């Protein structure tokens, strides 16, 4: 079986000019992931469940494991020398690695170190989401141009799911591959080669408790999913874990759509563009699926600030297109609500 390290180096050989720096960076991420995996697995025994007592930039209470995971990735990327700067859900400002800049580090990493952390105590899968960009400037400082790049500039998008087994799934724009962690040997092994999403799927995932706040386009789509039409396998089935990675991963394997829409009160929804929506969108597209904010392709959105939020409609292509059609027909005003909120 092919290990992640072998796979990364094989991929590198495809690009004659590759220096190996990107391979090192991905390897650094996988090492931090192994440590976080260990901590997540032992959380109930190690006294590291519960809240940390602090809040992050989003005003959300941080869990102890949020902080631990964030520190592991900062350590791995800081020591690894390939990452010039990191954007994390847990840090208000860009984390700049001065020593790595001095050593000409070429990459910027945006990361949600522990996504779905509200599920930590109940043993539901959680994960890490990461996006890797190439630096635009190669001077002594990090510029906003380096950190605010659209998804079309992405070099790599990936996630690690700490679930019934731990998996690392990533793409560099050449298909999506998944690696399962073998804890007895401490290595990730290629288990899911060239992952493709089924289209259409039969699963829809949305926090339906917020139904009354949803745009009419989303309400109509939910009703569409619930209609009786055996010729299109409807009614679909609903599955919502409340951990984006888990909901996305299941839909990637089975076929389906995940929606976190904007509402009038929160026009840009909840999820963050740079380290949640963009990397997942890149993976989705590379698996033959689609990701939008209900109107625009996620990868085309130019980020205005590092913790910007975006609505997310992601999954089997025809399902996302159906939901987009209802948004265009019944909720066109939401496009302006989102765009205004981006500037705020
Ligand atoms: P987090 O990054 O603070 O964990 O928040 C993101 C999570 C997603 O993983 C999940 O899909 C969503 O929040 C669930 O939100 P809600 O509880 O509003 O349905
Ligand atoms: Mg998250």
pLDDT per position as a tens digit, 226-259: 999 999 999 999 999 999 999 999 999 999 999 9
Domain end among 192, 227, 261: 192
The residue contributing the CA closest to ligand 1 atom 15 is 242
- Ligand 1 lined by 207 (C-beta under 6 Å): yes
Ligand 1 nearest-atom number relative to CA 126: 9
- The CATH number for 34's domain is 3.30.540.10
Looking at the structure, tell me whether residues 130 and 214 fall in a common domain: no
Looking at the structure, tell me whether residues 155 and 23 fall in a common domain: yes
Looking at the structure, tell me whether residues 158 and 210 fall in a common domain: no
Looking at the structure, tell me whether residues 234 and 305 fall in a common domain: yes
Can you give the pLDDT at residue 54? 72
Looking at the structure, tell me whether residues 82 and 214 fall in a common domain: no
Can you give the pLDDT at residue 277? 97
Looking at the structure, tell me whether residues 186 and 287 fall in a common domain: no
Q: Supply the range of the domain harboring residue 97.
A: 4-192
Looking at the structure, tell me whether residues 224 and 275 fall in a common domain: yes
pLDDT band, residue 208 (cuts 50/70/90): very high
Q: Does pLDDT of 112 surpass 70? A: yes
Higher pLDDT, 63 or 101: 101
pLDDT per position as a tens digit, 67-98: 889 999 999 999 999 999 999 998 899 999 99
- Ligand 1 lined by 66 (C-beta under 6 Å): no
Number of domains within the chain: 2
pLDDT per position as a tens digit, 131-181: 999 999 878 889 999 999 999 999 999 999 998 899 999 999 999 999 999
Can you give the pLDDT at residue 17? 64
pLDDT per position as a tens digit, 270-314: 999 999 999 999 999 999 999 999 999 999 999 999 999 999 999
Q: Is residue 197 part of a domain?
A: no
Ligand 1 nearest-atom number relative to CA 247: 11
Residues 6+ positions from 282 with CB-CB distance below 8 Å:
131, 151, 154, 156, 157, 171, 173, 299
Domain end among 192, 213, 240: 192
pLDDT band, residue 183 (cuts 50/70/90): very high
Q: Is residue 156 part of a domain?
A: yes
The residue contributing the CA closest to ligand 1 atom 14 is 242
- The CATH number for 273's domain is 3.40.190.80
Looking at the structure, tell me whether residues 209 and 75 fall in a common domain: no
Is pTM beyond 0.85? Reply is: yes
Average pLDDT, the chain: 92
- Ligand 1 lined by 116 (C-beta under 6 Å): yes
Can you give the pLDDT at residue 234? 96
Residues 6+ positions from 280 with CB-CB distance below 8 Å:
129, 157, 159, 244, 248, 291, 312, 314
């Amino acid at each position: 079986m092919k290990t992640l390290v072998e796979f990364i180096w094989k991929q590198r050989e495809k690009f004659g000019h590759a220096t190996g720096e990107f391979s090192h960076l991905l390897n650094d991420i996988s090492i931090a992931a192994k440590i976080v995996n260990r901590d997540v697995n032992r959380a109930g025994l190690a006294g590291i469940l519960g809240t940390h007592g602090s809040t992050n930039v989003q005003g959300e209470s941080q869990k102890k494991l949020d902080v631990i995971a964030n520190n592991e990735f900062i350590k791995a990327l800081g020591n690894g020398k390939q990452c010039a700067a990191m954007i994390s859900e847990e840090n208000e400002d860009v984390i700049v690695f001065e020593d790595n800049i001095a050593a000409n580090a070429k990459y910027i990493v945006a990361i949600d170190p522990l996504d779905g952390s509200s599920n930590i105590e109940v043993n539901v899968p959680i994960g890490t989401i990461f996006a890797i960009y190439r630096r635009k400037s190669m001077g002594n400082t990090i510029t906003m141009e380096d950190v605010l790049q659209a998804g079309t500039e992405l070099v790599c998008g990936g996630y690690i799911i700490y679930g019934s087994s731990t998996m690392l799934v990533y793409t560099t724009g050449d298909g999506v591959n998944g690696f399962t962690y073998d804890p007895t040997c401490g290595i990730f092994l290629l288990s899911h080669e060239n992952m493709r999403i089924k289209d259409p799927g039969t699963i829809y995932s949305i926090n339906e408790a917020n139904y009354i706040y949803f745009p009419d386009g989303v309400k109509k789509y939910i009703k569409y999913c619930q209609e009786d039409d055996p010729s299109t396998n409807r009614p679909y089935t609903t599955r919502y874990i409340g951990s984006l990675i888990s909901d996305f991963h299941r839909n990637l394997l089975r076929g389906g759509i995940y929606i976190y829409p904007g509402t009038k009160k929160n026009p840009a929804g909840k999820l963050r563009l740079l380290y949640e929506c963009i990397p997942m969108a890149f993976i989705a597209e590379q698996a033959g699926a689609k990701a939008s904010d209900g109107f625009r392709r996620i990868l085309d959105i130019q980020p205005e600030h590092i913790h910007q939020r975006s609505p997310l409609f992601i999954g089997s292509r025809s399902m996302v297109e159906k939901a987009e059609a209802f948004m265009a027909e019944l909720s066109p005003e939401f496009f302006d609500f989102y765009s205004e909120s981006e500037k705020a």
